[in-house]
Amino acid sequence: MDNQYDVITGDELKEIQEAMKKSPAEGVALINAYFDKQKNTPLNIAITGESGSGKSSFINAFRGIEDGDEGAAPTGVVETTKEVKAYPHPSHPNVTLWDLPGVGTTNFPAAEYLELVGFEKFDFFIIISASRFKENDVKLALEINKMGKKFYFLRSKIDSDVYNEERKQKRNFDREKTLQDIREDCMKGLRDQGIEAPQVFLVSSFDLHLFDFHLLQETLERELPQHKRNAFLYAMPNISMEIIKKKKDAYQAQIKYHAAVSSAVAAVPIPGLSTAVDLALVAGVVGQYVVGFGLDEKSLKRLAASSGVPYSDLVSVMTSQLGATKITPDLIKKLLTPLGMVAASMAAEEVSRFFLLIGIPIAMCLSGYATYKILNFLLDLIAADAQKVFEKAVKKNTEV
């Protein structure tokens, strides 16, 4: 069954299968090449808008970094972006958010803006405004459209607007109506200036899990090319249970290829080699899971700083022993040994080698199956931990 997160196409899969028939080593090399390509797929996101719109705060929030932290985009009430500046994601450096100078500033006049910022390198543009979108925003959007690129309007600082409306209206305050009024006002303004069917997303950089950020994520997931989709998804902060589920689905779609690598190694008739390689392979893959779900030490410390929940409290809710620690083959073996998974796999695999003619194929099947089961088991544990951390750090703050 096809999976939308499977970045290896049908044609590429056939190529892998043919390579495996010729030589397991050749097949493994091809699979690893596809994984390297996926890991290094660049995604360049341009963030622009007028000065004071909240561009830098959004960039920092997406990257899980607090304003003012080392490596954060500078923020302020005046225009702080004087040149095009790249901000790679701290855990996924192939994903870069670019802080662009405000449209219509002295050094970046609207008419020459796209050429001056080098629009070719960006996959899509996010145009941010803290109020109604202005003439320069619309001019930019129309030019981006002419260039064949995608653009999305973000109305920032929504948390402040909602708070102010609640204070004014008090008992008559209707949160959903307030949000709808802001959205409609922005869309009407854009339509009046020539933007057909504008998409406007209401966002708070202080609370990405609230308002429309999940709708932006779903839109980009639909509209990004397949090979860029996973890069964006893995870099996404865990702002909802749905994001965590999608990350799990994306990782799960790749497990069959890791299992194929394990099977190929089992074809080499050296006792103990397959098990040693499998443990190293599993450790490497699980390490990617931990980083992708934001459960490594650095990510958890950034989350603790941004959420106000102590780092120790975040660590305490995890039960897998895989978060906030270095993932090694020895750790994987230690976790799986009580379950008998490693010993059973190794024994069955080595015994199968004693059968003439059919021994190696059986060993390959057993090795691949064991790796498949182990990775699914550990992925379940890590995804469950990610949900617990999310509930601890974010879910309790969903009320505004």
Q: Which of 208, 235, 262 is a domain's end point? A: 235
CB burial class (10 A; 0-12, 13-18, 19+) of residue 89? buried
Q: How far apart are the first and last CA of the chain?
A: 42
Do 363 and 266 meet the contact criterion of CB atoms below 8 Å apart?
yes
Mutual angle of helices 213-223 and 241-266, in 10-degree steps: 40
Residue 344 CB neighbour total at 10 angstroms: 13
Question: Do 115 and 162 have their domain in common?
Answer: yes
Of 235, 206, 236, 382, the residue nearest 308 (C-alpha): 206
Cα 42 to Cα 55: distance, rounded to the nearest angstrom = 21
Question: Do 225 and 130 have their domain in common?
Answer: yes
Question: Do 317 and 328 have their domain in common?
Answer: yes
Question: Do 148 and 114 have their domain in common?
Answer: yes
Q: Is residue 2 part of a domain?
A: no
Do 66 and 154 meet the contact criterion of CB atoms below 8 Å apart?
no
The pLDDT, as a whole number, for residue 337 is 79
Q: Is residue 294 part of a domain?
A: yes
Q: Is residue 1 part of a domain?
A: no
Do 70 and 214 meet the contact criterion of CB atoms below 8 Å apart?
no
Strand partners, 352: none
Strand partners, 85: 99
The tens digit of pLDDT for each residue in 170-190 reads 788 899 999 999 999 999 999
Which residues, 6 or more positions from 297, have their beta carbon under 8 angstroms from its beta carbon?
Answer: 324, 325
The tens digit of pLDDT for each residue in 18-43 reads 877 777 778 778 888 888 888 889 99
Question: Do 226 and 82 have their domain in common?
Answer: yes
Number of compact structural domains in the chain = 2
Residue 143 CB neighbour total at 10 angstroms: 18
Q: Which of 181, 215, 235 is a domain's end point? A: 235
**The domain containing residue 215 runs over which residues?**
43-235
The tens digit of pLDDT for each residue in 72-83 reads 888 765 555 568
Q: Is residue 226 part of a domain?
A: yes
Cα 389 to Cα 315: distance, rounded to the nearest angstrom = 8
Do 50 and 134 meet the contact criterion of CB atoms below 8 Å apart?
yes
pTM of the model as a whole: 0.82
- Strands of 43-49's sheet, edge to edge? 85-88, 95-99, 43-49, 124-129, 150-155, 200-202
The region of weakest confidence among 180-184, 324-328, 333-337, 387-391 is: 333-337
The pLDDT, as a whole number, for residue 355 is 45
Q: Is residue 54 part of a domain?
A: yes
| pLDDT-above-70 percentage for the chain | 83
Q: What is the DSSP letter of 126?
A: E
Q: Which two tokens stand for residue 272?
A: 């103990």
| pLDDT-above-90 percentage for the chain | 39
| CATH at 134 | 3.40.50.300
> Which comes out higher in pLDDT, residue 272 or 161?
161
List Cα–Cα distances, 377 to 31, 46, 57, 255, 293, in angstroms.
22, 38, 38, 11, 16
Q: Is residue 4 part of a domain?
A: no
> Which comes out higher in pLDDT, residue 261 or 192?
192
Q: Which two tokens stand for residue 283?
A: 């450790």
Instruction: Report the amino acid identity of residue 359.
Output: G
Instruction: Report the amino acid identity of residue 191.
Output: R
Q: Which of 235, 266, 301 is a domain's end point? A: 235
Question: Do 295 and 228 have their domain in common?
Answer: no
The tens digit of pLDDT for each residue in 96-126 reads 999 998 776 667 776 678 888 888 999 999 9
* Residue in the block written with tokens 């225009």: 79
Q: Is residue 175 part of a domain?
A: yes
Question: Do 35 and 69 have their domain in common?
Answer: no
Q: Is residue 3 part of a domain?
A: no
Question: Do 146 and 30 have their domain in common?
Answer: no
The pLDDT, as a whole number, for residue 356 is 43
Question: Do 194 and 247 have their domain in common?
Answer: no
Question: Do 168 and 218 have their domain in common?
Answer: yes
Average pLDDT, the chain: 83
Which residues, 6 or more positions from 57, have their beta carbon under 8 angstroms from its beta carbon?
Answer: 67, 73, 75, 156, 205, 206
Question: Do 20 and 75 have their domain in common?
Answer: no
Question: Do 252 and 316 have their domain in common?
Answer: yes
Of 372, 373, 351, the residue nearest 362 (C-alpha): 351
pLDDT band at residue 270 using 50, 70 and 90 as cut-offs: very low
